[in-house]
């Protein structure tokens, strides 16, 4: 008897330890879905656009190296020589746009908006995966409970059919009663088959979504009792990600319009060269570019 109790406890807690709750389902769904990896890659790519926009405001530096080779024959009373000379020059050019009427700043603002869009899209991906995980979890539980009720109904109808057959053989039930019981039995059998198929399909769907075997799903889910319809609607409006995307899309189009207007303006360019002679034949030329937009 003691061995039986110990065995029962071990089996019970083994099944308990392998049970799956909704939190574990959500975690597995998010970790195993390739959409999350794609979303992270888009975030990294979008962040690089911001760095590129900032880089457009930095000066452009170019350098060149030139060399001149020459030789000349010279004679003296005692000998003839041909000396060789090599003259090298180094040139460094720095070009800086001093005034762009805010064009580059607009591109920086736009790149930040596009990055924010990718952040919102990533949140939408996570949100959708969480909803899929919860829906798949609850669907399995719902169909399993429905199957239990359908099985009990089938057992009840089957017993009623057997009783009706016995009564019909004894002559206490009519043919109509027997046919009616058989009809109920056929409907119950069809419902049982449908319920079994629903459970199998829901389990396959759950495994596809969460990457877990739907074994021993906990059917107790704590729902906060203080949640009201008004609070749900308020939260949905304040945290609506689609609405935030629409707002960012409007800002993005406004920036594109401003950039187009600035590009169509007349651009006057003035150059102020400053040549600085350095030691050992080094030459630096500083070019300052000034764009005047009207």
What does the pLDDT look like over 236-292, one tens digit per residue? 777 888 888 999 999 999 988 888 877 765 444 444 444 444 434 333 443 444 444
**Is residue 287 a contact partner of residue 94, using CB atoms and an 8 Å limit?**
yes
Q: What is the pLDDT of residue 270?
A: 44
Integer Cα distance of 134 and 132 in angstroms: 6
pLDDT 10s digits, 4-61? 433 433 343 344 445 788 888 888 888 888 888 898 898 888 888 888 888 877 777 7
Structure-block tokens of residue 82: 């041909």
Q: How buried is residue 168: exposed, middle or buried, by Cβ count under 10 Å (0-12/13-18/19+)? A: middle
Kindly report which listed range (23-27, 78-82, 213-217, 269-273) carries the lowest average pLDDT score. Answer: 269-273
Q: What is the pLDDT of residue 291?
A: 43
Q: Is the predicted pLDDT of residue 75 greater than 70, yes or no?
A: no
Q: What is the pLDDT of residue 278?
A: 41
**Is residue 215 a contact partner of residue 18, using CB atoms and an 8 Å limit?**
yes
Q: What is the pLDDT of residue 185?
A: 94
**What band does 124 get if pLDDT is binned at 50, 70 and 90?**
very high
pLDDT 10s digits, 131-148? 999 999 999 999 999 999
Q: What is the pLDDT of residue 117?
A: 92
Cα distances from 87 to residues 61, 65, 92, 279, in angstroms, run 24, 11, 17, 13
Instruction: Characterize the bridge pairing of strands 282-293 and 267-277.
Output: antiparallel
Q: What is the pLDDT of residue 145?
A: 93
**Is residue 241 a contact partner of residue 127, using CB atoms and an 8 Å limit?**
yes
**Is residue 24 a contact partner of residue 209, using CB atoms and an 8 Å limit?**
no
In this prediction the pTM is 0.64
Q: Is the predicted pLDDT of residue 81 greater than 90, yes or no?
A: no
Integer Cα distance of 146 and 135 in angstroms: 16
- DSSP label of 266: -
- Residue 205 sits at the vertex; the CA angle it makes with 203 and 207, to the nearest 5 degrees, is 70
Q: What is the pLDDT of residue 92?
A: 73
Q: Is the predicted pLDDT of residue 190 greater than 80, yes or no?
A: yes
- Domain 20-69+81-215+255-293, CATH: 1.20.1600.10
- Between 62 and 277, whose confidence is greater? 62
CB-based contacts of 11: which residues, under 8 Å, 6+ apart? Answer: none
Backbone angles phi, psi at 220, to 5 degrees: -110, 115
**Is residue 34 a contact partner of residue 61, using CB atoms and an 8 Å limit?**
no
pLDDT 10s digits, 147-163? 999 999 999 999 999 99
Structure-block tokens of residue 247: 């707002």
Q: Is the predicted pLDDT of residue 201 greater than 90, yes or no?
A: yes
Task: Please report, in angstroms and rounded to a whole number, the separation of the first and last CA atoms in the chain.
Answer: 98
CB-based contacts of 26: which residues, under 8 Å, 6+ apart? Answer: 129, 130, 133, 134
Rounded mean pLDDT, 68-96: 68
Nearest to 274 by CA among 58, 99, 57, 94: 94
């Amino acid at each position: 008897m003691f061995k039986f109790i110990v065995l029962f406890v071990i089996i019970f807690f083994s099944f308990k330890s392998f049970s799956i709750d909704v939190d574990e389902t959500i975690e597995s769904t998010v970790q195993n879905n390739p959409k999350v990896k794609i979303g992270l890659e888009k975030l990294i790519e979008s962040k690089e656009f911001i760095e590129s926009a900032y880089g457009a405001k930095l000066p452009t530096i170019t350098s060149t190296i030139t060399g001149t080779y020459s030789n000349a024959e010279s004679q003296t009373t005692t000998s003839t020589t041909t000396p060789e000379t090599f003259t090298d020059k180094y040139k460094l050019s720095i070009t800086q746009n001093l005034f762009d009427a805010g064009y580059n700043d607009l591109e920086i603002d736009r790149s930040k908006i596009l990055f924010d869009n990718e952040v919102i899209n990533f949140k939408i991906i996570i949100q959708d995966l969480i909803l899929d995980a919860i829906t798949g979890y609850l669907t399995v539980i719902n169909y399993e409970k429905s199957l239990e009720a359908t099985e009990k109904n089938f057992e009840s109808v089957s017993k009623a059919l057997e009783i009706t057959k016995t009564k019909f053989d004894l002559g206490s039930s009519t043919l109509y009663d027997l046919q009616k019981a058989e009809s109920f039995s056929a409907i119950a059998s069809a419902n049982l088959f449908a319920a079994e198929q629903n459970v199998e399909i829901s389990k396959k769907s759950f495994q596809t979504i969460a990457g877990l075997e739907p074994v021993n799903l906990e059917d107790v889910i704590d729902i906060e009792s203080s949640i009201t319809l008004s609070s749900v609607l308020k939260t949905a409006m304040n945290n609506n990600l689609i609405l935030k995307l629409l707002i960012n899309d409007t800002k993005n189009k406004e920036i594109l319009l401003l950039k187009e207007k600035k590009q169509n303006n007349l651009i006057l360019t003035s150059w102020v060269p400053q040549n600085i002679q350095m030691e050992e034949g080094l030459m630096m030329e500083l070019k300052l570019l000034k764009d005047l937009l009207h």
